[in-house]
Structure 1
Amino acid sequence: MSTDASFREIREGLYWIHEPGPDRSGMVESMDPVPSWYDEAQSVHIPQCAYLLDGGDATLLLDTLSPASTDRILGALDAVLDDPLDYLVVSHPDVPHAGNTARILAAHDATLVAPRYGDDHELYRLDEATHVGEGDSIDLGRYTVDFHEATFLDAPVSLWMSERTEGMLFPVDWFGFPHLASERLRLVEELDVGIAESRLVQFHGRVLFWHQYVDVETVQREIDAVNRRFEPRMILPAHGLVVGEGAMEYVDRMKDVVAEIARRDRIGALG
């Protein structure tokens, strides 16, 4: 498994491209209590992640990082690819996910792929993209990816992706969490203590704020349905570290996360 300053090959032909984002230490220090996983000697980041799949027959990039990392994403593509990128998939038109779309397409004669959900594609210059959703797939050779209506989302023009060979699930904004600087590009199972629930609570309670208003039991049933439907062996989030082992157990833990966010909201303690 090769790694450099900005990306890591975590399976053959599967590259995790990472943008750390700004230091969020102050945000974590303001929490009461300060979570046990925090190390005051380190910066804290909620990353932006893109994923490159090289299936041998074709290549596909999911998301683009933000414009702050244009050189990072183009450099990773140049370092890995011998030929131009074949497919660029934009999960949804948000800066961390789509901010380098034009720059990548200028450098690579790739097919732009976008969600078919929602009706505002022309606002984001996605009206001429190949629109995909439930039932659509792309065969890359070693890998075959499938597209899905997002179970949990923060934008109406959005989709999830899965992959058949390795059992990967790309849940985009869902399953995000902060990490320490020393944990960058490390798989969750490579950490000393895994991922504490407080990390997941912090992200979903603040970034996906609608978790404060949901019916907990209904959301928990949908989380169970994610495991039944995808049976994921890997979780590759847009705003967290990759889970390469125990993926279904981590999905199941999200039920407790939703319950904790609801409890904190009721007592006015959500940070």
Structure 2
Amino acid sequence: MYREIEPGIFWIQELGPDRTEMFVGEDPPEWYRDDVVRIPQCAYLLVDEETLLFDTLSPAATEALLEDLAEILEGKSLDHLVVSHPDVPHAGNTWRVLEEYPDCSLVAPRYGQGHALYHLDEARLVGEGDSIDLGGRTVAFHEATFLDAPVSLWMTEETTNALFPVDWFGFPHHDEERLSFVDEIEGDATVDRLVAFHGRVMFWYQYVDAGKVRREIDRLIAEYDPDLLAPAHGLIVREDATEYMERMKPVVDVVSEKGRVGTLG
């Protein structure tokens, strides 16, 4: 399923498996409503004079992804496929998409090592200072500040002033909240929701210097000051984006104090 979030920018979402087991042996947080809980996978399709897909979802969503792409593109080609990092929820359909759109250019992070291991040495490698002009809009690439893989990339889109922070700012949601903006859901992206994701996926937060991380979040806010926050594992923030980035400060404090929170199994 997908939703057009701005003219020419489409949010394609895979729900992911039920993660209700996150709360086994724990007191459920206030936002939990005794319902199925998902941590979504998100991809983003930009349609302009040229087209670009950012991430590919997992192999469980192959057919749905290809159907969504065909419906949105309406016969247009896919010109660029950007893989944020070689992890299943992000790159799981890379080769299937390239088979479907053989003239598409593969774009991958230039950071880290082991590109040949993932066939990424065959891609155009990009990072800070690199961009792609799609015609009416431009995307730029950045070294990921908070990441769960050594080969990783963030992206911004200039026209909407959007930041795509990949794994950072992920959080779970209920089925009925699918493809909702954060301001459309009950209770919005609380710190508890953010802890539920980062305490499991970015559990290395327990080893960091929390003060340095908080200062790094301040740097991100000053550098990007986004109007729209589009994560790979959460819902889109279209109002008060920097205020939501501020909420990541207590998340780091909680994970740093408590250590790894539960398991994703």
TM over 0.5: yes
Structure 1 match to 2:86? 93
Structure 2 match to 1:159? 153
Say whether residues 1:183 and 2:177 are aligned partners: yes
CA distance in 1, matches of 2:246, 2:2: 28
Q: Any idea what the Cα deviations from partners look like across 1:174-200, whole Å, max 9, x if unmatched?
A: 100000011000000111321111110
Question: Which amino acid in the other structure matches residue 172 of structure 2?
Answer: P
Structure 2 match to 1:20? 15
Structure 1 match to 2:43? 50
Say whether residues 1:32 and 2:26 are aligned partners: yes
Identical-residue share of aligned pairs (%): 58
CA distance in 2, matches of 1:178, 1:270: 14
Structure 2 match to 1:9? 4
- C-alpha deviation, 1:83, in angstroms: 1.1
Structure 1 match to 2:242? 248
Q: Any idea what the Cα deviations from partners look like across 1:207-251, whole Å, max 9, x if unmatched?
A: 111101000000000000110000111110000001111100000
CA distance in 2, matches of 1:64, 1:146: 18
CA distance in 1, matches of 2:25, 2:237: 25
CA distance in 1, matches of 2:22, 2:8: 36
For the residue of structure 1 that corresponds to 2:226, the secondary structure is: coil
1:114 to 95, 100, 108: 108
Ranges in structure 2 where 5+ consecutive residues have no aligned partner: none
For the residue of structure 1 that corresponds to 2:107, the secondary structure is: strand
Structure 2 match to 1:147? 141
Structure 1 match to 2:98? 105
Structure 1 match to 2:54? 62
CA distance in 1, matches of 2:25, 2:154: 31
Say whether residues 1:264 and 2:258 are aligned partners: yes
Asked if 1 retains the 8 angstrom alpha-carbon contact of 2:183 and 2:237, the reply is: yes
CA distance in 2, matches of 1:14, 1:148: 19
Question: Which amino acid in the other structure matches residue 177 of structure 2?
Answer: E
Q: Any idea what the Cα deviations from partners look like across 1:21-52, whole Å, max 9, x if unmatched?
A: 00111223x25321111111x21000000000
For the residue of structure 2 that corresponds to 1:39, the secondary structure is: coil
Asked if 1 retains the 8 angstrom alpha-carbon contact of 2:203 and 2:255, the reply is: no
- C-alpha deviation, 1:270, in angstroms: 3.5
Structure 2 match to 1:238? 232
Moved over 4 A (4+): none
Asked if 1 retains the 8 angstrom alpha-carbon contact of 2:203 and 2:261, the reply is: no
CA distance in 1, matches of 2:136, 2:18: 37
TM-score between both structures, scaled by the size of structure 2: 0.96
Question: Which amino acid in the other structure matches residue 120 of structure 1?
Answer: G
The count of aligned residue pairs is 260
